[in-house]
Chain A
Amino acid sequence: MMNKIITRDLNLWYGDFHALKKVNAAFQANRITAIIGPSGCGKSTLLRVFNRMNDFVEGVRTEGEVLIDDLNVLDPAADLVSLRKKIGMVFQRPNPFPLSIYENIVFGARIRGTRAKRGEMDEIVETSLRSVLLWNELKDKLRSSALRLSLEQEQRLCIARLIAVKPDVLLMDEPCSTLDPQATERIENLMRELKNNYTIVIVTHNMQQAARVSDDTGFMLLGELIEFNETKDIFSSPKDKRTEDYITGRYG
């Protein structure tokens, strides 16, 4: 097994508020890691450290190291554009751009000024849509707006547009929270398929989902990573009392 993302004594403050406290964890390649914990414990914050999305928040300060492929992401000199190409993020609410389906998928190529030929672009669109199982549904309306899709299709499209730039890591922040149970199940199946090629980190409020889909699980509480282990161990024999309390439903 290969460590893809390693955090070392990671601390983060929003102004005076200490949101991540000495987080040490190793996320493995080609596995799905779930981050669980009550609302406000810092799950999203941790995820957004990996692609430096917290940079856009005023008054943020980080300490420690986050190594992705042995490169320190927190290095002020890190190349954010290639970092964000390598690490795609799926948001809680599907956020396809107000462009056509086709343009959504080639967006990544366009912003990098890739002068790909029309045929290559078409190919990228097809493979990306195929890998999220949308090709058959959408192949005849690639030029229509991406905003007229169902929520599930939108979320798949958002995954597809990340896949189009061939990332290594997919960060998913509660990607199913707006979907119904059937759609959620289908997205989970998709995740299982995708993990062969990507490292997936998923934040979820839903413990059943973490148990169903993930290989490893980290439990966070008030900015601390309390426990990090294989999912089956976390759910069958949690080592920390607080983890046990949470998974048995004694916290909100």
Chain B
Amino acid sequence: MRKFREFIIEKLVLLCGIASIFFVVLIFLFLLKEGFAVFKTVHPFAFLGGKSWYPISEPPRLGILPLILGSILVTVGAAIISIPIGVGCAIYIAEIAPKKTKEILKAGIELLAAIPSVVLGFIGMVTIVPLAKMLFHLPTGLTALSGSIMLAFMAMPTIVSIAEDALYSVPKTYKEGALAMGATHWQAIWRVMLRAASSGILAAVMLGIGRVIGETMAVMMITGNAAVIPHSFFAPVRTLTATIAAEMGEAVIGSEHYFALFAIGIVLFVISFGINVTADLFLHKRQ
């Protein structure tokens, strides 16, 4: 009887495993089927490299280069802001902060991670946007820069907590060895500990950026949503994710526009997948 129960449970768990894989494959196939349909009318290169995105003109012009550039610009900006601050914060928490401060900071970071992205977007809209407009004398504060700043806040918790973990798990003997040789605390951190934690920190950065790339709601609210090739951080942009979210509702099912949005989904998938795999590689190198 006992054995039979074990058997049933084992099979049930197996079933769950298979089901999840099955659904992932199904979703993936669906994405591919719908996405690749667009390439019947648009050449893949024209799609990826096309400079204009007018999906409802006649005939529709489906070049996603402005969207790719928009995503890249916003992401690079967020990375430039969040990586130094995030890693610095991780160093501070792992190595420098007194116990109390450390606890408070960690709780704060967790809190930041728990804020829903729409809420962050909304806060950004009423704070960062007008501020950017005023500070840089822009016609609108809805720019790539505003998006980057806000996304940096979203990437930060991931970067800080994983990088802090990586620093924390550096063997204490490295630090001791460096200090015993007369290194200052900072030299021990900079020359030895960061080096020892480098793969973990890179993974932290990758996962943080992965979060930024996939973010939708908040960027949609804050970057201005202009599907034109951006020439600076101070121009409005539109990202791949925002495009899908904004246009899927109005795209006629089965139209070229509809298929194009799925193709954008494939592009996003490839990017995210690449980033996650890289992060994984770094994390495994560590072990």
A-side interface residues toward B, CB under 8 Å? Answer: 51, 53, 56, 80-85, 88-89, 91, 93, 95-99, 107-108, 110-112, 158, 161-162, 165
Query: How many angstroms from the CA of A67 to the CA of B273 in the assembled complex?
Result: 62
A-contact bits for B161-198, CB 8 A (1 contact / 0 none): 00000000001011011111111100100011001100
Query: How many angstroms from the CA of A34 to the CA of B225 in the assembled complex?
Result: 74
B-side interface residues toward A, CB under 8 Å? Answer: 171, 173-174, 176-184, 187, 191-192, 195-196
Docked-complex contact B182 and A108, CB < 8 angstroms: yes
- Nearest CB of chain A from residue B41's CB, rounded to whole Å: 53
Docked-complex contact A98 and B180, CB < 8 angstroms: no
Docked-complex contact B191 and A56, CB < 8 angstroms: no
- Residues of A close to B183: CB separation below 8 A: 107, 111
Query: How many angstroms from the CA of A5 to the CA of B176 in the assembled complex?
Result: 22
Q: List 26 A-B pairs, Cβ < 8 Å.
A: A53-B180, A80-B182, A81-B182, A84-B182, A88-B180, A88-B181, A89-B180, A91-B173, A91-B180, A95-B174, A95-B177, A96-B177, A97-B192, A97-B195, A97-B196, A98-B195, A99-B191, A99-B195, A107-B181, A107-B183, A108-B182, A110-B191, A111-B183, A111-B191, A158-B177, A165-B182
Q: Which of B171, B177, B181 has the most CB of A within 10 A?
A: B181
- Nearest CB of chain B from residue A107's CB, rounded to whole Å: 6
- Nearest CB of chain B from residue A243's CB, rounded to whole Å: 30
Docked-complex contact A93 and B173, CB < 8 angstroms: yes
Determine the residue in chain B with the shortest Cβ distance to A84: B182
Docked-complex contact B187 and A111, CB < 8 angstroms: yes
Given contacts A98-B192, A99-B195, A111-B187, contact A165 B181 (CB under 8 A): yes
- Residues of B close to A98: CB separation below 8 A: 174, 192, 195-196
Determine the residue in chain A with the shortest Cβ distance to B190: A111
Given contacts A111-B187, A111-B191, contact A97 B180 (CB under 8 A): no
Given contacts A107-B191, A111-B191, contact A95 B181 (CB under 8 A): no
Partner of A53, one of B173, B176, B191: B176
- Residues of A close to B171: CB separation below 8 A: 95
Given contacts A98-B192, A98-B196, contact A51 B180 (CB under 8 A): yes
Pick the 3 closest A-B CB pairs, nearest first: A84-B182, A95-B173, A89-B180
Query: How many angstroms from the CA of A89 to the CA of B176 in the assembled complex?
Result: 10
Partner of A84, one of B174, B181, B191, B192: B181
Docked-complex contact B196 and A82, CB < 8 angstroms: no
Given contacts A88-B181, A111-B182, contact A97 B174 (CB under 8 A): yes
Query: How many angstroms from the CA of A52 to the CA of B191 in the assembled complex?
Result: 21
- Residues of A close to B195: CB separation below 8 A: 97-99
Known: A84-B181, A97-B192, A98-B195. 5 other contacts (CB 8 A): A53-B176, A53-B179, A95-B171, A110-B191, A111-B183
Partner of B182, one of A85, A93, A96: A85
Query: How many angstroms from the CA of A242 to the CA of B171 in the assembled complex?
Result: 37
Query: How many angstroms from the CA of A56 to the CA of B191 in the assembled complex?
Result: 19
Query: How many angstroms from the CA of A51 to the CA of B183 in the assembled complex?
Result: 13
- Residues of B close to A112: CB separation below 8 A: 182
Given contacts A110-B191, A111-B187, contact A91 B177 (CB under 8 A): yes
Partner of A82, one of B173, B174, B177, B182: B182
- Nearest CB of chain B from residue A108's CB, rounded to whole Å: 5
Query: How many angstroms from the CA of A96 to the CA of B173 in the assembled complex?
Result: 9
Partner of A162, one of B181, B191, B196: B181
Query: How many angstroms from the CA of A80 to the CA of B179 in the assembled complex?
Result: 10
- Nearest CB of chain A from residue B111's CB, rounded to whole Å: 29
- Nearest CB of chain A from residue B162's CB, rounded to whole Å: 19
Determine the residue in chain A with the shortest Cβ distance to B177: A95
Query: How many angstroms from the CA of A99 to the CA of B178 in the assembled complex?
Result: 12
Query: How many angstroms from the CA of A84 to the CA of B179 in the assembled complex?
Result: 8
- Residues of A close to B178: CB separation below 8 A: 97, 107, 111
Determine the residue in chain B with the shortest Cβ distance to A86: B182
Query: How many angstroms from the CA of A158 to the CA of B179 in the assembled complex?
Result: 14
Query: How many angstroms from the CA of A85 to the CA of B179 in the assembled complex?
Result: 10
Docked-complex contact B179 and A97, CB < 8 angstroms: no
- Residues of A close to B192: CB separation below 8 A: 97-99
